[in-house]
């Protein structure tokens, strides 16, 4: 826990507020300051004090140090990525800690390519372009050890899962992280069996009935769900399969009936899709383009639906006011995001305000759909590893993820006028994103959260 003085030290250190006296080109010590700031952040994340004053020291020559891969940083920072540890942190350092305002209202230049300490590094990295962090042998061994316990230690599982879960372990890990499956392995099968039967009973009671037995509101809600299901992840052909559409409809309608405080809200349909993909992956081989759900037995489909239903319920239990009338929980997160962006990157915040762009115009959808519509779908399950690892803290951490996501395009946005910004933010250029871009967003969010969240004055205004 830090005091308010620590936040002052952070500002002095240049994190989120570096300045240039001349308002022109950055200081010749900028490279050294970046490196020193990163080392201090690493110390902060390890629980040491934050020596902000050290950055005020002048050096006659910039220190062009390479960040050692052995630098001690929590495992969360080293997420599933195609960059080696040292290179990844150098990239995060430049993109994550380079934001701030100068007297001229401009940002220090942010490198788009990491500085490599090894001339052969780039060729090595090409071998890992799809990201290998979640599947390297050491991490798989850790997951296997944790999952083989008689009673899984959830805190340890969360620490591992934050950086990515091996795909074949996701179904088991997600059920545990959400509290759907119990940590005690002796009870797990029995609990899942009972919950799956309970879901079947609910479908029979609420869904498999004639419209004559439904209220007008229920008929209207079912029709809206039927309209939204074909619109769910439209660029993934698998979701257009008739059986998938029917499963999605049953899950959503049953959930809405059993949660009358919110009922069905557009956007919840997107939140089912990661669960469908993960739990279907237990039974289908290959990628989603080759999947054929019609080969599965009715019992298997029912079990998959039940797991999706209960996991969706557990996820939304921690965000209940996000989907009640007027969605006050989401509005609250949007306002927190606006304030956080102002603190981290004042120039882009001022530019958006001058252009009359309201955060609600783009960020409401981000929070409503948990960024599912903003990134390629093949990256969503990796993102959700971190979401589920955050547990009850997810809504709070979403603000930092969204700030990191938005500020990826800080320089670009500052050159756009209102209409151009709206169009850009509604059609973000993430189609070609890989694990590297996503991990950079998550790493930045983690560092900002560690630096700012415990400060008494943070997001207080």
- pLDDT of 119 over the 60 cut: no
Q: What share of the chain is helix, strand, coil (3-state, %, to 5)?
A: 65, 0, 35
In which region does residue 114 sit, left (phi positive, over 0), alpha (psi from -120 to 50) or beta (all else)?
Answer: beta
List of E strands, 149-242: none
- pLDDT of 12 over the 50 cut: no
How far is the C-alpha of 374 from the C-alpha of 45, rounded, in Å? 29
List Cα–Cα distances, 353 to 100, 196, 356, in angstroms: 17, 50, 5
Helix (H) or strand (E) holding 331: helix 328-344
How far is the C-alpha of 219 from the C-alpha of 217, rounded, in Å? 5
pLDDT tens digit sequence for 162-197:
999 999 999 999 999 999 999 999 999 999 999 999
Q: Report, as an integer, the average pLDDT of 255-274.
A: 96
How far is the C-alpha of 400 from the C-alpha of 339, rounded, in Å? 11
pLDDT band (50, 70, 90) for residue 292: confident
Flag the least confident range among 99-103, 135-139, 314-318.
99-103
If one counts every other C-beta atom within 10 angstroms of the C-beta of residue 254, the result is 21
Which residues partner with 151 through β-bridges?
Answer: 184
What's the angle, vertex CA 158, arms to CA 157 and CA 164, rounded to 5? 95
Q: What are the backbone angles phi and psi of residue 151, rounded to the nearest 5°?
A: -130, 110
* pLDDT of the residue at 406: 98
* Neighbour-count burial for 45-62, b at 16+ CB within 10 Å, e otherwise: beeeebebeebeeeeeee
Please tell me whether residue 184 adopts helix, strand or coil conformation: strand
| pLDDT, mean over the chain | 78
* pLDDT of the residue at 134: 54
How far is the C-alpha of 364 from the C-alpha of 323, rounded, in Å? 12
* pLDDT of the residue at 288: 86
* pLDDT of the residue at 371: 97
pLDDT band (50, 70, 90) for residue 375: very high
Burial tier of 443 (Cβ tally within 10 Å: 0-12, 13-18, 19+)? buried
CB 310 within 8 A of CB 199: yes
* pLDDT of the residue at 42: 41
pLDDT tens digit sequence for 22-73:
344 444 444 444 444 444 444 443 333 333 222 222 333 333 333 333 233 3
How far is the C-alpha of 301 from the C-alpha of 279, rounded, in Å? 10
Domains of the chain (ranges; CATH) run 1-131 (no CATH), 179-317 (1.10.8.270), 326-433 (1.10.472.80)
Radius of gyration for the alpha carbons in the chain, expressed in angstroms and rounded: 23
How far is the C-alpha of 192 from the C-alpha of 309, rounded, in Å? 12
In the block, residue with structure tokens 């995001």: 337
If one counts every other C-beta atom within 10 angstroms of the C-beta of residue 205, the result is 12
How far is the C-alpha of 270 from the C-alpha of 294, rounded, in Å? 22
- pLDDT of 391 over the 50 cut: yes
- DSSP H helices in 374-459: 380-390, 394-406, 410-413, 418-426, 435-452
Flag the least confident range among 91-100, 143-152, 313-322.
91-100
Number of H-type helices and E-type strands within the chain: 20, 0
* pLDDT of the residue at 457: 55
CB 301 within 8 A of CB 293: yes
Copy the structure tokens of residue 402.
């969204």
Residue 103: DSSP 8-state:
T
How far is the C-alpha of 155 from the C-alpha of 162, rounded, in Å? 11
């Amino acid at each position: 826990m830090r005091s308010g003085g620590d936040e002052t030290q952070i500002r002095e250190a240049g994190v989120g507020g570096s300045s240039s006296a001349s308002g022109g080109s950055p200081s010749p010590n900028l490279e050294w300051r970046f490196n020193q700031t990163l080392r201090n952040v690493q110390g902060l994340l390890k629980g040491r004090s934050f020596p902000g004053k050290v950055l005020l020291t002048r050096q006659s020559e910039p220190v062009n140090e390479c960040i050692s891969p052995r630098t001690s940083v929590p495992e969360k920072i080293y997420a599933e990525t195609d960059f080696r540890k040292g290179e990844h942190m150098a990239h995060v350092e430049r993109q994550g800690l380079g934001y701030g305002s100068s007297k001229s209202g401009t940002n220090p230049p942010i490198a788009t390519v990491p500085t490599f300490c090894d001339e052969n590094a780039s060729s090595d990295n090409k071998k890992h372009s799809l990201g290998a962090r979640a599947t390297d042998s050491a991490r798989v061994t850790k997951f296997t050890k944790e999952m083989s316990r008689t009673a899984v230690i959830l805190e340890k599982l969360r620490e591992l899962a934050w950086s990515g879960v091996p795909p074949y372990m996701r179904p088991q890990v997600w059920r545990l992280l959400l509290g759907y499956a119990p940590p005690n392995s002796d009870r797990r099968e029995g609990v899942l069996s009972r919950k799956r039967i309970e879901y079947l009973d609910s479908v029979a009671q609420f869904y498999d009935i004639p419209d004559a037995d439904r209220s007008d509101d229920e008929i209207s809600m079912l029709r809206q769900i039927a309209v939204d299901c074909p619109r769910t992840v439209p660029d993934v052909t698998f979701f257009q399969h008739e059986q998938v559409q029917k499963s999605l409809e049953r899950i959503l309608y049953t959930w809405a009936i059993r949660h009358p405080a919110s009922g069905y809200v557009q956007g919840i349909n997107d939140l089912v899709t990661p669960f469908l993909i993960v739990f279907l992956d237990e039974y289908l081989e290959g990628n989603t383009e080759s999947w054929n759900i019609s080969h599965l037995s009715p019992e298997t489909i029912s079990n998959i639906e039940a797991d999706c239903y209960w996991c969706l319920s557990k996820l939304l239990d921690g965000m209940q006011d996000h989907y009640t009338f007027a969605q006050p929980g989401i509005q609250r997160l949007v306002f927190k995001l606006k304030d956080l962006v102002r603190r981290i990157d004042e120039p882009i915040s001022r530019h958006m305000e001058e252009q009359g762009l309201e955060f609600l115009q783009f960020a409401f959808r981000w929070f409503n759909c948990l960024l599912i519509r903003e990134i390629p779908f093949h990256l969503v399950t990796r993102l959700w590893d971190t979401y589920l690892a955050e547990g009850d803290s997810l809504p709070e951490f979403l603000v930092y993820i969204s700030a990191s996501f938005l500020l990826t395009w800080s320089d670009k946005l500052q050159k756009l006028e209102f209409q151009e910004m709206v169009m850009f933010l509604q059609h973000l250029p993430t189609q070609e994103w890989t694990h590297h871009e996503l991990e950079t967003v998550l790493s930045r969010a983690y560092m900002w959260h560690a630096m700012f969240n415990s400060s008494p004055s943070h997001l207080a205004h």
